[in-house]
Amino acid sequence: MLWSDCKEIARYLLKEHPDADKLAISHDDLKAMIFEIPEFDKNQETPKKLENHLNSILWTWMRLGSDEF
């Protein structure tokens, strides 16, 4: 799994952290949660605009969570 796999990362986060307060989570905490994903390639190069990837992942996670209701 790569940084660009927003939807797959978001699905994992939704499954593993269903009650997380997505509006209060910091980028550092989100990055740590992503690094916990077994399939995530921790050896890949960190993107230059990591903040953009984290925001995309977070918004996808929020959208997927709201789709379940």
pLDDT at 63: 93
Question: In angstroms, rounded to a whole number, what is the distance separating the alpha carbons of residues 47 and 69?
Answer: 33
pLDDT at 68: 58
Task: Tell whether the model's pLDDT for residue 9 goes beyond 80.
Answer: yes
Convert the pLDDT of each residue in 16-68 to its tens digit. Answer: 999 999 999 999 999 999 999 999 999 998 888 999 999 999 999 999 988 75
Question: In angstroms, rounded to a whole number, what is the distance separating the alpha carbons of residues 4 and 12?
Answer: 14
pLDDT at 69: 46
pTM equals 0.89
Question: In angstroms, rounded to a whole number, what is the distance separating the alpha carbons of residues 22 and 39?
Answer: 22
Question: In angstroms, rounded to a whole number, what is the distance separating the alpha carbons of residues 55 and 39?
Answer: 20
End-to-end CA distance of the chain: 27
6-67: CATH number: 1.10.10
